[in-house]
């Protein structure tokens, strides 16, 4: 066993991380510092410090990362139009590199030898935490208890907690869930079979569309250089924009998806995701780009967006390729400034109007009522662009002959 004197643990206060805290102390005979990240998740974090200290932590931090998450992680990802496998808006994925950064920062401050997380050996989160740690602090060891211990079931974890007097919730937990300001994910229970419909309790952020209001709601979002800066004309901080739009979209049943995705480790996984703010921002941002981005620039950005989203999903946030792609994404967004107004109704988002001081749309060119466009110019354009087709046809005819 490597000599470990002090460990910084990503701590939620739930069963897994509470057991991990005590297990680290017993197994490594070390000091454990608990770190809880406030990412705007719906859970009440009051009492989490006290619980960590009672379970054996030498110190307990609750770090407020809401504005940093929105400004430095969510917004750059949205500037990159990231959406994994065409559907998943990367709500869990984008939080992990930030949590890892917080763990490393506190490990440096406290002189810790290692950091630890509660991700299992099956999922993507272990990769995201440890890739981030490798990039930020390759000298700090990472302890992943799920890859070391023998506590491989909830029954075993509960028995360990009972033995060590660790208080756990008596309420049965139907799903494995992750939440932050942007999203809530649900996995496990009936969702482990893709042929089962989700239980009705699998709703937290988005009302069922049947319960959404019967009257459409209008919303407008202002953007500057690809970033949302105001909702309905009111300037807000990055985190406040996300929480405001989450409430607006969620009450209209917007942002829920039930999908099977391909995990980085190789297996398929079925999950239900609720990401109301991200869904709304993604659609309105794309709509504004329609008048602000050049056709070829948009095409290249969309090709890169696939690779960019894979970087985020697979845990390569701090990689050179993601950083290089981010520079391109940010350059592409320099002119994406303006306002989009949309109608929200029972799970749907319909942009109605978009304006921008940088619009590339020309009414004079697009109008059916004359204008300065000379239709005769199209003849030369067509002839030059079809030259290769006529040459190819000649060769085909020659081969047939």
Instruction: Check 66, 96, 128, 205 and give the catalytic one.
Output: 96
Nearest to 43 by CA among 176, 157, 184: 184
Say how far apart CA 313 and CA 82 lie, in whole Å. Answer: 10
Tell me if residue 176 is catalytic: yes
Edge-first strand order for the sheet with 268-274 is 176-179, 184-187, 268-274, 256-262
> Cα separation of 246 and 243, whole Å?
5
Helix (H) or strand (E) holding 165, with range, is none
Helix residue ranges, H only, 164-275: 238-251
Give, in order, the Cα–Cα distances in Å from 327 to each of 89, 111, 295: 20, 34, 19
Active site residue 125: yes
Q: Check if the beta carbon of residue 18 is closer than 8 Å to that of residue 55.
A: yes
Tokens matching residue 47: 């009492």
Q: Please identify which of the residues 66, 79, 125, 256 carries the catalytic annotation.
A: 125
What single string gives the DSSP state of each residue in 98-134?
HHHHHHHHHHHHHT-SEEE----SSSSHHHHHHHHHH
DSSP characters over 66-99: HHHHIIIIIHHHHHTT--BTTTB--TTTTTHHHH
Please list, in sequence order, all residues whose beta carbon lies within 8 angstroms of the beta carbon of residue 2, skipping any fewer than 6 positions away.
141
Q: Euclidean distance between the first and final Cα of the chain, in Å?
A: 78
Active-site residue, from 58, 176, 189, 237: 176
DSSP character at residue 276: H
Contacts of 378 (CB under 8 A, 6+ apart): none
Q: Report d(CA 350, CA 389) in Å as an integer.
A: 39
Interhelix angle 238-251/276-292, rounded to 10 degrees, is 110
The answer to whether residues 100 and 136 touch, using CB atoms and an 8 Å cutoff, is yes
CA–CA separation, 26 vs 56, rounded Å? 10
The pair of structure tokens assigned to 218 is 């209008």
Which of 16, 113, 178, 222 is an active site residue? Answer: 16
Question: Catalytic residues, which ones?
Answer: 16, 96, 125, 176
């Amino acid at each position: 066993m490597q000599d470990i004197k002090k460990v910084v643990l990503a701590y939620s206060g739930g069963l897994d991380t509470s057991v991990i805290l005590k297990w680290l102390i017993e197994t490594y005979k070390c000091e454990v510092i608990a770190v809880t990240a406030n990412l705007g998740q719906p859970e009440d974090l009051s009492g989490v410090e006290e619980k960590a200290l009672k379970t054996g932590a030498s110190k307990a931090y609750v770090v407020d990362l809401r504005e940093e998450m929105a400004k430095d992680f969510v917004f750059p990802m949205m500037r990159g139009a990231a959406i994994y496998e065409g559907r998943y808006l990367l709500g869990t994925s984008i939080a992990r590199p930030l949590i890892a950064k917080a763990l490393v920062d506190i490990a440096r401050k406290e002189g810790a030898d290692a950091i630890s997380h509660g991700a299992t050996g099956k999922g993507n989160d272990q990769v995201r935490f440890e890739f981030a740690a490798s990039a930020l602090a390759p000298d700090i060891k990472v302890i992943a208890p799920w890859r070391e211990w023998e506590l491989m079931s909830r029954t075993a974890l509960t028995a360990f907690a009972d033995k060590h007097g660790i208080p756990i919730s008596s309420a049965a937990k139907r799903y494995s869930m992750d939440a932050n300001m942007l999203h809530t994910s649900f996995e496990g229970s009936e969702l482990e079979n893709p042929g089962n419909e989700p239980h009705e309790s699998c709703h937290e952020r988005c009302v069922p569309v049947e319960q959404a209001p019967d009257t459409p709601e209008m919303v407008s979002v202002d953007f500057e250089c690809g970033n949302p800066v105001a909702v309905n004309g009111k300037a807000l901080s990055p985190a406040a924009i996300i929480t405001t739009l989450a409430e607006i979209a969620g009450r209209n049943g917007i942002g829920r998806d039930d999908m099977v995705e391909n995990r980085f480790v190789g297996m398929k996984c079925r999950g239900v995701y609720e990401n109301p703010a991200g869904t709304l921002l993604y659609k309105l941002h794309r709509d504004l780009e329609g008048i602000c981005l050049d056709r070829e620039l948009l095409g290249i950005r969309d090709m890169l967006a696939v690779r960019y989203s894979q970087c985020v999903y697979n845990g390569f946030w701090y990689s050179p390729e993601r950083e290089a792609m981010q520079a391109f994404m940010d350059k592409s967004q320099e002119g994406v400034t303006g306002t989009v107004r949309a109608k929200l109704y029972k799970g749907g988002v319909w942009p109605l109007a978009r304006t921008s001081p940088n619009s590339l749309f020309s009414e004079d060119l697009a109008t059916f009522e004359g204008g300065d466009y000379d239709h005769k110019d199209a003849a030369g354009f067509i002839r030059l662009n079809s030259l290769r087709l006529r040459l190819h046809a000649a060769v085909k005819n020659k081969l047939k002959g």
